[in-house]
Amino acid sequence: YEKVRKAVLKTEQELMTGGHTYLSVKEAKANEIFMQYKREDLEQGVRDEEQNAAALHFFKAKPLIDRSRVFRFLREMPKGAVLHLHNSASVSSSWVVQNISYMQGMLRCTTTSGETLLTFRRTPKEHNCQSEYILVSDERASASNPKDYDQNFERLINLYTPTPEVEYPTSTRVWDKFQGMFNAFHDALAYLPAFRKYTWQMLEELYNDNIMYAEIRSTIRKLYDESGQDLSLERAVQEFLDVNTEFVRLHPDFLGFKIIFCVYRGFEMDRLRKAVNAFKKLREAFPNFVIGFDLVGQEDKGKPLYDLLPALRDLPANTRFFLHGGETNWFGAPVDVNLLDALLLNTTRIGHGFALAKHPIVMNAVKARNIAVEVSPISNQVLHLVWDLRNHPAAQYLALDIPIVICNDDPGFWNAQGLSYDFYYAIMSLAPNNAGVRLLKTLVWNSVRYSTLTEEEQRRAFKFLEVSWTRFIEKTVAGYFL
């Protein structure tokens, strides 16, 4: 009995993600230190469920995570690459308030549906506003307390609430608020000076969280300058590239970012075809920077991939897809069957893949074809797919060694700067209690392995990663994080 029991447990450990990852003597010592930190958090959660960060909603758990030695370890840990991040929700909302909203000329209006819209256009276009345009600076100056004004302003681009179960009782409620935040901010972000500052800050926040490369999803829109003149889509991509080039020049241990072109999945066919044509032109103009294609928006309410095939088939044969798929709790509906269509379209990676465990044939094919699932734990929780992240299906993906990468999706909208908070849930909630540095190292290396970096770029990335990882392990063993 004992022999069989030990053999089964040992085999399960070896079969899971990271089961055969080698640890050096120093890495093994670092693992002992990390496991001490992890046990502290786990034991605290056993003693008091209200202190069990691994089981709590992020909005309630964040203060606990911020005090955790596990989190301190993860924040210092090199994390490789982030492969699923939407640029327009990538930057901390507090930074946006203190920087973008204080830029001269920001205007605010209210649409006929009651939503706030922000812009810098001197002669505002038709924004479907029912109110007059008001200078944000004037509103702030006339407020009885500018600090309170800023806190209220931040709620336009942040989902945080101390009672998410009350404020967002359904997925529809939270998705409506979530989509409204993109709508509120998108025209202000298209203002060229704001776009440049915001994109730079995105890279700063990634770099400061020990991330060295990113693949950014963007619904690339025309920017406009100080005169209100619209610029071309090519200019928008060039602006991305210019910020990237300058940031890499000043941070030579950062490998930069590339762009995944995104289109709203709710578009009618004619508009989708126009977007496909725009992607073709941008891909031709920037073949090493615009790397692929995706469809975004709430899957439950958007058109299924199958219905969009006529437009998707117009894409060049060498187009790389990075398709959102299975970001749903439904089973046997058109929305979770998106996973099958993503597979048949030869997707390079799958965004979210929350419903993948319900489709064993597709899941086996994903593993056999080495297609990584981009797992964003906090996003899946905040957007109402799962409350207790210990119940997230990625726990099963880890157990079965389905390829996954840890991602952050829209961290600026919920105070999850960088990638460390999602890694906290990955190691504390998705992973078994006895998983440590072996799994963390595997996930970090996966982020480079499943990126679209060229062979030469990957060699350089792994070289950088080895250096930074070795330095991190040495600091850990020396007691730097005690």
Mind telling me the catalytic residues?
327, 352
Token reading at 321: 């897809």
Helix (H, G, I), strand (E, B) or coil at 134: strand
Burial of 95 by CB count in 10 Å (0-12 exposed, 13-18 middle, 19+ buried)?
middle
Would you state the structure tokens that stand for residue 295, as one six-digit string?
């469809």
* Residue 175: count of CB within 10 angstroms of its CB: 17
Which region holds residue 152: left if phi is over 0, alpha if psi is between -120 and 50, else beta? alpha
Ranges of beta strands (E only) in 211-309 are 213-218, 257-264, 290-296
The token pair that represents 140 in the structure block: 């702030």
Contact, 406 vs 443, CB < 8 A?
yes
Q: Which two tokens stand for residue 220?
A: 């690339």
Token pair in block for residue 448: 């480079």
Rounded Cα gap, residues 86 and 348, in angstroms: 17
DSSP 358: G
Stated as kind and residue range, the H or E segment containing 437 is: helix 437-449
Tokens of 209: 């969280």
Determine the distance from the C-alpha atom of residue 375 to the mean position of all C-alpha atoms in its chain, rounded to a whole number: 9
Phi-psi region of 325 (alpha: psi -120 to 50; beta: other; left: phi over 0): beta
Nearest Cα to Cα of residue 198 among 113, 44, 90: 90
User: Strand, coil or helix: what is 480?
Assistant: coil
3-state secondary structure 268-293: CHHHHHHHHHHHHHHHHHCCCCEEEE
Please state, in angstroms and rounded to a whole number, the distance separating the CA atoms of residues 470 and 423.
19
What is 94-108 written as a DSSP string? Answer: HHIIIIITTSTT-EE
